[in-house]
């Protein structure tokens, strides 16, 4: 039995063909994974399936209904988690759950969900004050209410830490009935083997559909196979790094956090964060959701006043001279913070201006960036309408535009496809070789290996600090993921 039958589906947005004569079937009662490059059509496909978009051509049948004409009927049977799930940020965790339960007409029975999401102790916190990953978990909990027949999850695990990502998959498997159909889009290749079926999309077409183990036995192999299917990745010289002009400095440690603390009421978001980063070093701040990474980033770049402690950027105290300190910084926030209603090019122009690049220099630099990042096709598109991976790419470009000697990257690769992730890290490591200091956070444990040193952060405190190999050795782990889990579990005891 099939939950979804699609024949020759086509959907165009102006000159872009998002879905291109696509045919596929999705089996009932199975978990199907949707994988593909940024802009390959994953979100468009999901929106067509639930009737949020109408096709130009072709046929769709979902649970024996036609989503274009029987949308209301279909709505009652599905649970849909869009990329930007609509949590009410000014309501608390529990109020959000109550609201969604009422909308779906189901009882206020949240025990299991709160336990699974680990949000029980935070149930009276405003949703807006949750960390990025905690918000994802709450969104998923809201969608699971009422046990829908068909769950459509658009990148539910973006920004969710490796321990919680396993929980999330477990949560879905445990909380659904055996008859429930799940469509789960993702850019984490290590999730592939949890799916009954994997569908790989490329340029609006299905390029693979089948059992994930038939493609590859392990997740590393799976990632490489997907990259091959998508046309392969050829490492080239990072032109961003080549165009970088090194800045002279006498300070030994370009970034210093000294006893940083942030207190909200009686809750320590950051209790004690200290580290020193040398010029040209890649320093990774890793840790579970809610550990205090983003809070630390915000204090380090002067966006949030620390309760205690000091941060130095190029030897400058960030609270004493924020403007001067910040001129040395490129910051990529976890939450998309560019101007959504401006086009790609307008955003680049704007950020050049505010970083003090003008006239002919601005024109030259912006066209160079457009060329390097491959934005020429999308430069007139509004930033808010871009696929998630492209948004991240644009944010990185804006953070780099003024050639800063220090980069703060808060989950730069969350929601970014496998090939673009490699391109990002090629830029990051090449820039570091040219002397750029990088503070970065990620939930991809393979990326943690690119860091020179790592601080593992948990519940506002440093749990371990050292090179990736030292951390692995410390707990006799074969990879960073295992080291991460062991070190966190150990500190929990």
Residue 144 or residue 448: which is nearer to Mg ion going by CB?
448
Q: Which stretch binds Mg ion (CB under 5 A): 91-99, 265-273, 285-293, 357-365?
A: 285-293
Kind of pairing, strands 308-313 and 253-264? antiparallel
| 294, 392, 395, 437: residue in contact with Mg ion (rule CB under 5 A) | 294
Range 51-110, binding Mg ion (CB under 5 A): none
What φ, ψ does residue 230 adopt, rounded to 5°?
A: -85, 5
**If we measure between CA atoms, which residue out of 310, 326, 247 comes closest to residue 279?**
247
Minimal distance, residue 295 CB to ligand ATP, in Å: 3
412 binds, among Mg ion, ligand ATP, none (CB under 5 to 8 A by kind): none
Torsion angle of the four alpha carbons 357, 363, 366, 369, in this order, in degrees rounded to the nearest 10: -120
Cα–Cα distance between 410 and 432 in angstroms, integer?
A: 17
404 binds, among Mg ion, ligand ATP, none (CB under 5 to 8 A by kind): none
291 binds, among ligand ATP, Mg ion, none (CB under 5 to 8 A by kind): ligand ATP
Token pair of 105, please?
Answer: 């007409």
Residue 83 or residue 131: which is nearer to ligand ATP going by CB?
131
* Total interface residues for Mg ion by CB under 5 A: 4
Q: Give the DSSP per-residue string, 255-308.
A: EEEEEEEEEETTEEEEEEEEEEEETT-EEEEE-STTSSHHHHHHHHTTSS--SE
DSSP letter at 41 equals S
Residue 86 or residue 128: which is nearer to ligand ATP going by CB?
128
For residue 228, the SS3 value is: helix
437 binds, among Mg ion, ligand ATP, none (CB under 5 to 8 A by kind): none
DSSP letter at 194 equals G
| 36, 132, 302, 389: residue in contact with Mg ion (rule CB under 5 A) | 132
Residue 139 interacting with Mg ion (CB under 5 A): no
The residue behind tokens 């978009």 is 53
* DSSP H/E element including 249: none
Judge contact between 329 and 247, C-beta under 8 A. no
For 163, 241, 298, 328, the CA distances from 401, given in Å and listed in that order, are 35, 12, 20, 12
13 binds, among Mg ion, ligand ATP, none (CB under 5 to 8 A by kind): none
CB proximity list for 360: less than 8 A, separation 6 or greater: none
Judge contact between 49 and 9, C-beta under 8 A. no
151 binds, among ligand ATP, Mg ion, none (CB under 5 to 8 A by kind): none
Residue 181 or residue 442: which is nearer to ligand ATP going by CB?
442
Residue 315 region by backbone torsions, left for phi larger than 0, else alpha for psi between -120 and 50, else beta: left
Token pair of 352, please?
Answer: 């050049």
Residue 133 or residue 387: which is nearer to ligand ATP going by CB?
133
204 binds, among Mg ion, ligand ATP, none (CB under 5 to 8 A by kind): none
Residue 148 or residue 415: which is nearer to ligand ATP going by CB?
415
Cα–Cα distance between 243 and 129 in angstroms, integer?
A: 39
Which residues of this chain interact with ligand ATP, rule CB under 6 A?
125, 129-134, 159, 161, 264, 267, 269, 287, 289-295, 334
**If we measure between CA atoms, which residue out of 205, 206, 204, 228 comes closest to residue 216?**
228
Residue 157 or residue 334: which is nearer to ligand ATP going by CB?
334
Minimal distance, residue 309 CB to ligand ATP, in Å: 15
Taking CB atoms, the residue at the shortest distance from Mg ion is 294
Residue 92 or residue 352: which is nearer to ligand ATP going by CB?
92
55 binds, among ligand ATP, Mg ion, none (CB under 5 to 8 A by kind): none
Taking CB atoms, the residue at the shortest distance from ligand ATP is 133
Range 326-385, binding Mg ion (CB under 5 A): 334
Residue 132 or residue 139: which is nearer to Mg ion going by CB?
132
For 34, 48, 155, 264, 361, the CA distances from 184, given in Å and listed in that order, are 6, 15, 7, 35, 44
Contact code string over 296-335 relative to Mg ion, x by CB under 5 A: --------------------------------------x-
Residue 271 or residue 422: which is nearer to ligand ATP going by CB?
271
Q: Which residues in this chain contact Mg ion in the complex, by CB under 5 A?
A: 132, 293-294, 334
């Amino acid at each position: 039995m099939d939950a979804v039958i699609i024949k020759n589906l086509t959907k165009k947005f102006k000159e872009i063909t998002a879905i291109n004569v696509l045919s596929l079937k999705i089996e009932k009662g199975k978990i199907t994974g949707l994988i593909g490059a940024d802009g390959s059509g994953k979100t468009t496909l999901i929106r067509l399936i639930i009737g949020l978009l109408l096709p130009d051509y072709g046929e769709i049948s979902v649970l024996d209904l036609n989503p274009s004409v029987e949308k209301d009927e279909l709505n009652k049977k599905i649970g849909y988690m869009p990329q930007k799930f609509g949590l009410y940020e000014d309501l608390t965790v529990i109020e959000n759950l109550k609201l969604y339960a009422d909308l779906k007409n189901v009882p206020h029975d949240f025990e299991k969900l709160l336990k699974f999401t680990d949000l029980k102790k935070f149930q009276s916190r405003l949703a807006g004050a949750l960390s990025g990953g905690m918000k994802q978990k709450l969104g998923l909990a809201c969608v699971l209410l009422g046990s829908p027949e068909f769950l459509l999850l658009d990148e539910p695990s973006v920004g969710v830490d490796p321990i919680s990502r396993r929980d999330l998959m477990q949560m879905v498997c445990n909380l659904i009935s055996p008859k429930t159909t799940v469509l789960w889009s993702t850019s984490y290749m290590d999730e592939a083997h949890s799916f009954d079926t994997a569908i790989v999309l490329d340029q609006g077409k299905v390029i693979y559909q089948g059992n994930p183990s038939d493609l590859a036995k392990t997740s590393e192999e799976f990632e490489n196979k997907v990259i091959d299917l998508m046309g392969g990745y050829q490492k080239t010289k990072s032109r961003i790094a080549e165009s970088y002009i090194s800045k002279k400095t006498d300070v030994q440690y370009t970034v210093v956090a000294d006893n940083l603390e942030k207190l909200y009421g009686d809750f320590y978001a950051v209790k004690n964060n200290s580290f020193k980063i040398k010029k040209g070093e890649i320093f990774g701040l890793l840790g579970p959701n809610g550990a205090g990474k983003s809070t630390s980033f915000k204090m380090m770049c002067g966006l949030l006043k620390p309760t205690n402690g000091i941060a130095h950027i190029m030897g400058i105290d960030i609270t004493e001279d924020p403007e001067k300190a910040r001129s040395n910084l490129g910051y990529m926030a976890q939450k998309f913070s560019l101007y959504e209603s401006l086009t790609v090019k307008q955003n680049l122009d704007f950020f050049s201006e505010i970083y003090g690049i003008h006239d002919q220099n601005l024109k030259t630099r912006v066209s160079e960036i457009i060329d390097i990042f491959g934005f020429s096709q999308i430069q007139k598109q509004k930033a808010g309408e871009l696929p998630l991976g492209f948004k991240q790419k644009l944010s990185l470009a804006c953070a780099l535009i003024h050639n800063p000697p220090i980069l703060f990257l808060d989950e730069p690769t969350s929601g970014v496809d496998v090939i673009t992730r490699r391109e990002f890290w090629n830029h990051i490591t090449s820039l570091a070789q040219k002397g750029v200091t990088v503070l970065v956070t990620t939930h991809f444990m393979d990326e943690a290996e690119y860091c020179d040193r790592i601080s593992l952060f948990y519940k506002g405190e440093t749990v371990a600090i050292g090179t990736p190999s030292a951390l692995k050795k410390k707990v006799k782990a074969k990879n960073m993921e295992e080291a991460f889990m062991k070190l966190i579990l150990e500190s929990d005891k």
